[in-house]
Amino acid sequence: MVLEADEVRARPDQDVIAEGNARFQRGPMQISADRMTYEQASDLAHATGKVRVTRDGNVYSGPELQLKVERFEGFFLRPTYFFSRTQAGGSAERLDFLGDQLTVATGATYTSCRVDDTDGSTPAWILSTDRVKLDFANNEGIAQGAVLRFYGVPILAAPVLSFPLSDDRKSGWLPPSIDIDNKSGLQVAVPYYWNIAPNRDATLTPAIVSKRGAALDTEFRYLEPGHEGRVDLNLLPNDRQAGITRSAFNLEQEGVLLGNTRYSTNVMRVSDDDYWKDLPRGINSLTPRLLLGDARVASDFGLWTTYARVERWQVLQDVDSPLATPYDRLPQVGVRTWQPLIGGLEFGMEAEANRFVNPEGHRVGIAPDDTVANPRPVGSRLHVLGSLAWPFGTPGWTLTPKVLVNAASYRLDAPMADGRDRFHRVIPTFSLDSAWVLERDTQLFGRPARQTMEPRLFYTKTPYREQNDLPNFDSAEKDFNFDSIYTENSFSGVDRVSDAHQLTAGVTTRMLDSGDGSELLRLGLAQRYLFEDQRITPDKQPISQSVSDLLLTGSSGLLKHWRFDAAVQYSPEQHQTVRSILGVRYAPGPYRTINTNYRFNRNDSVTGLPSEQFEVGWQWPLYGRPGQSSDRGGRCTGAWYSVGRMSYNVSERRLTDSVVGFEYDAGCWIGRVIAKRLSTSQQEATTQLGFELELIGLSRLGTNPLKVLKDNIPGYRLLRDDSVAPAASPTTP
């Protein structure tokens, strides 16, 4: 215990009186005041005149304090307080300390807005209560007569309000959310969070949808010693517009079984084909029309892995835009390994058995009165993929000869057009990969730099084997780019292996900053030379030209704040560009970023027609000083930001998926308004409008658009860090 003051008078074993700049410290607590007395027998401290108490970063100030120090029991008259964790505080008529873990405040207020008391101004937002009980042991605050006002207007009130006192979870109501879209109208939801156990919780969200009726969304999460997962169920019992019950179900679970055996399950299902258009919030998938049902198990035995899997798809078809469907795998069973051998050899192998069937929703013609089943072959396949490589070299160059084998055996449920229902084939491949990395010190515009020259030659020889009449369960053409041009097979999957007698030649040069190693410039080109015609192609038309399209790539970060990227595919046969992607990013500082991208494809894989698309994304301040939203008096002056991403299809002359919004940072609160447009066809789109009021240090009210902004705007930066502005806290009225 430490006591300091301008004047100290003491009676041994009785009391101490300190006057003038008195300071008392015991453990993590410190008290300062104009005058202070301490009675040793009762352990009672009494302070008057500019009393200030600091404890665990929290600060209390007021005219008078009486406290039993060891038991932390007493009262504080007319105090003001500031909590370091939330960067917010308020005032009260009286604080009663009922122990180290219990405090009661009478006539209390709470806000993160600082005001100048001399001009009588009020905070932009303030939570006022008749009485607040803060129970730190149970992580619970209970407020009676709570009213939340925003610029003097009551926006939330409850006779009793419960809230957590830390980041720990607590059962209770979460702030309401409000959404608007052209398909469902106004949607108001009030989530309830249920902290079932330390390793289990659930969120129940009743909602009213103006155009459709009442809905209920549920989420259940669990974390067991060997398992974890999540179950979501969205239910709309009677959709007034569709006249049916709508639902969405999602299950994600993974864990460990016996020993080192792992398993995972991922199932997503919806009630009808139009769910993805009408209720897109219920589908958490990158492919909203292809919903996966997947269960797998795998076990490791040294360098060998055995696995089994069941994969089923739900295909959401549309009359205007029928969707190609993948096969279901019922089941998929296999074993794979990769391991080094003597002499630097590397051996890889995969053996797998699959049963392929058409998924639910697979159709060819989709018309109101006519649905035709597609006679795609279904059946079983057993395949073995093997490779043996011998990489060797030095840090400056490598040479890797490799031998590969693709063997497959098919058994179909119904015979093909030629009458056969069983097929076998074995296709070998030889490749030789040679790469160099050459370096030299140089200068780039007077700037010390290191230049690399990285040539690469990749030779492939695969004999021709007739495959066009064989079933194709999982193969598709690879995208032609700088990665795929250095692979042995131009197809993904197993069922198609391109015949090849070809050499790929390419070179890349990079300029690196000599100081920090950052990449200043990159230029590259690559081209494939065919010594023989390629007869196994996606369209079954042989490729007879001796050289492939030329790939060019470039990127630059040489100019401060700027980044340029470009990729071009040029056809020497047509003497014109086939595809190109150009991108520019300008980011001069925090909250300032603009991204533009231009994509051109002369022969779109879906429509077969040329396609052009222009995209721009941004986060940019419109008014005010970014990151500084308060004047010297503490009043909010505000800063406006514009955020968005817009995609324009030049060929179709229409906007496709777009997000546009505004953010206003007032220092102690942030407002967001976001509009999102999702194209569901060339004629239809879903437009959503969301808004949010974030009260710094308290909670968020409305729709949370932050995930939309982070997913759609490259370089987007939060106006407040999550550690300063915690996620919405549960409150229980």
Q: Find the range with the poorest average confidence among 124-128, 229-233, 360-364, 645-649.
A: 360-364
The neighbour count for residue 111, using CB atoms within 10 Å, is 25
The C-alpha atoms of residue 232 and residue 495 are separated, in whole angstroms, by 36
Both tokens of 55, joined, read: 């404890």
146-178 burial code (b ≥16 CB/10 A, e <16): bbbbbeeeeebebeebbbbbeeeebbbbbbebe
Contact present, 270 and 247 (Cβ < 8 Å): yes
Q: Does pLDDT of 608 surpass 90?
A: no
Look at residue 368 and tell me whether its pLDDT is greater than 50: no
3-class SS string, 106-174: ECCEEECCCCCHHHCCCCCEEEECCEEEEECCCCEEEEEEEEEEECCEEEEEEEEEEECCCCCCCCEEC
Q: Report pLDDT for 723.
A: 37
Residue matched to tokens 């029991």: 73
Evaluate if pTM is beyond 0.75.
yes
- Tens of pLDDT, residues 144-190: 898 989 888 998 888 887 777 666 777 888 888 888 888 889 999 98
- The rounded distance, in Å, linking the Cα atoms of 146 and 124 is 17
> What is the average per-residue pLDDT within 133-145?
81
Q: Inform me whether the pLDDT recorded for 345 exceeds 90.
A: yes
Residue percentage of the chain with pLDDT more than 90: 49
According to the model, what pLDDT value does residue 453 have?
A: 96
What's the whole-number mean pLDDT along residues 546-554?
A: 95
Strands 73-77, 94-98: pairing is: antiparallel
Tell me the C-alpha distance between 489 and 470, whole Å: 17
Burial of 118 (0-12, 13-18, 19+ CB in 10 A): exposed
The tokens for 575 are: 């003497």
Q: Given phi > 0 = left and psi -120 to 50 = alpha, else beta, which region is 332?
A: beta
Q: Across residues 645-666, what is the average pLDDT?
A: 88
As a whole number of angstroms, the distance between CA 435 and CA 440 comes to 17
Which residue type occupies 64? E
Is the bond preceding residue 377 a cis peptide, omega within 30 degrees? no
What pLDDT sits at residue 325? 86
- Whether the predicted pLDDT of 635 surpasses 80: no
Q: Has residue 558 got a pLDDT over 90?
A: no
Instruction: Categorize the per-residue pLDDT at 607 as very low, low, confident or very high, splitting at 50, 70 and 90.
Output: low
Q: What is the mean pLDDT of the chain?
A: 86
Using DSSP's 3-state secondary structure scheme, residue 604 falls into coil
The residues facing 290 across adjacent strands are 315
What's the rounded mean pLDDT across residues 402-412? 96
Q: Determine the Cα–Cα distance for residues 172 and 142; give it in Å rounded to an integer.
A: 12
